[in-house]
């Protein structure tokens, strides 16, 4: 049967449960995913005095074709975006500034260093998000930045974060959609600390200084991101979940939850509903931890589907800012973007094709038998037929046919670098 015929059959199956599939597709079209640029070059960036990757971050593999210039990276992103249905965003780190060969320290970065990115985003109808880069730098070599006991080092990073918020504001003004500027720092200690409070006190004071500088929230949204541990900070992380959760709530900032930044027995999906009760908006970095914060490419696993369900069933598609954060240098990097982003969208589509209101009603009535039965049956409903139709309608390859385009791009472009 054709894609259209399969779709019509699937549509009838969902309509029996009051699910308007056409409305679902229209809703899905308007959900942007923020695609991280750093998958394309293994978090190298384009600083003139480029430093070796550090800060508890590791990228493994040496697959050929890594982008080594801004033009190459943008071309690779364009290729991936052509294989992904919908209109999306691109997430940048400060190290992706373009300084025309001039050494510009991070605390001196300005909007002008990102003009090429903004012009490219305009041409492609994309929004941009931003992150200050507080790793891979001599002033972060001892694993401390905004919580550093040295005031001069702290001030350097404070100024970098202030400048980053202004760059985010510039993105928002130029592109007509607010940028999410997210602060993550690697600060922590390898072994058990003798004082947990003082570094956190310094981090709080640093953040207060950063956010004291007025930036228009119409154009820039501030977020803070926690972590449970990192390489070199196994025993203590200054910016823990509890720290940032309290800071964000008290200071009206977004709390960003990274799916790899929690204990292996914790799930971000279980945190979303609680966060939404107390925050107007919530930000996510969706990754796939394998035993630790390993940032594997996102697959359509149970946790990804549960995250999507929590967003959809709580009517929060316009309240949860979804970004991706993974990096794998052992496979084709364009394919990694395509696989991960398509899976995130698949998970949202699957969640939209569930009779969520009826399932809520069953729970309220205490009808747990029917609730369990239906939740299990809907796992094998024909959402794949709707996905194929959606891809075709959006003008991107259906099923695995996108892989042939990536293979051709690899031969024609990546392997010639």
Active-site residues, by number, are: 184, 225, 227, 258, 261, 285, 293, 295, 325
| Pairing, β 220-225 against β 188-189 | unpaired
| CA 384/CA 17 separation, integer angstroms | 17
CB atoms within 10 A of CB 373: 12
Q: What are phi and psi of 36, to 5 degrees?
A: -75, 130
Helix (H, G, I), strand (E, B) or coil at 89: strand
**Paired residues of 352 in beta bridges:** none
Which whole-number Å values give the CA distances from 370 to 19, 95, 338, 354, in the listed order? 18, 52, 37, 14
Q: Are 98 and 69 in contact (CB under 8 A)?
A: no
Q: Among positive and negative, which fits the CA dihedral 304, 307, 311, 314? A: positive
Helix (H, G, I), strand (E, B) or coil at 129: strand
Residues recorded for the chain: 417
Q: For residue 41, give the nearest of 67, 72, 20 by alpha carbon.
A: 67
């Amino acid at each position: 049967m054709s894609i259209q015929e399969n779709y019509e059959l699937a549509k009838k199956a969902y309509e029996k449960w009051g699910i308007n599939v056409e409305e679902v597709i229209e809703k899905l079209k308007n959900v942007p995913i923020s695609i991280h640029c750093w998958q394309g070059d293994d978090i190298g960036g384009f600083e003139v005095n480029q430093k070796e990757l550090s800060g508890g971050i590791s990228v493994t593999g040496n697959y050929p074709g890594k982008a080594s210039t801004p033009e190459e990276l943008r071309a690779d992103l364009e290729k991936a975006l052509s294989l992904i249905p919908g209109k999306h965003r691109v997430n940048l780190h400060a190290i992706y500034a373009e300084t025309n060969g001039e050494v510009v320290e991070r605390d001196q970065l300005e909007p002008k260093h990102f003009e090429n990115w903004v012009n490219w985003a305009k041409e492609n109808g994309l929004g941009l998000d931003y992150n200050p880069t507080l790793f891979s730098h001599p002033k972060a070599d001892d694993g401390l930045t905004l919580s550093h006991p040295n005031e001069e080092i702290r001030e350097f990073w404070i100024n970098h974060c202030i400048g980053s918020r202004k760059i985010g504001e510039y993105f928002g003004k130029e592109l007509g959609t607010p940028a999410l500027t997210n602060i993550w720092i690697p600060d922590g200690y390898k072994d058990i600390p003798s004082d947990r409070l003082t570094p956190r006190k310094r981090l709080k004071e640093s953040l207060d200084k950063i956010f004291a500088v007025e930036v228009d929230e119409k154009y820039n949204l501030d977020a803070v991101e926690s972590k449970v541990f990192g390489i070199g900070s196994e025993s203590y992380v200054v910016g823990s979940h509890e720290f940032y959760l309290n800071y964000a709530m008290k200071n009206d900032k977004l709390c960003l939850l990274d799916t790899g930044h929690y204990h292996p027995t914790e799930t971000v999906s279980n945190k979303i509903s609680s966060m939404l009760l107390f925050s107007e908006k919530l930000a996510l970095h969706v990754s796939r931890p394998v035993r630790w914060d390993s940032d594997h490419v996102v697959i359509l696993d149970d946790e990804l589907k549960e995250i999507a369900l929590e967003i959809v069933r709580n009517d929060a598609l316009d309240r949860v800012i979804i970004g991706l954060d993974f990096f794998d240098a052992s496979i084709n990097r364009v394919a990694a973007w395509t696989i991960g982003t398509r899976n995130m969208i698949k998970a949202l589509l699957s969640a939209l094709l569930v009779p969520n209101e009826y399932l809520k009603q069953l729970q309220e009535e205490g009808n747990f038998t029917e609730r369990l039965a239906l939740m299990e049956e809907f796992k094998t409903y024909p959402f794949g037929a709707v996905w194929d139709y959606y891809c075709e309608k959006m003008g991107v390859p259906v099923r695995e046919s996108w892989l042939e385009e990536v293979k051709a791009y690899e031969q024609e472009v990546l392997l010639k670098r």
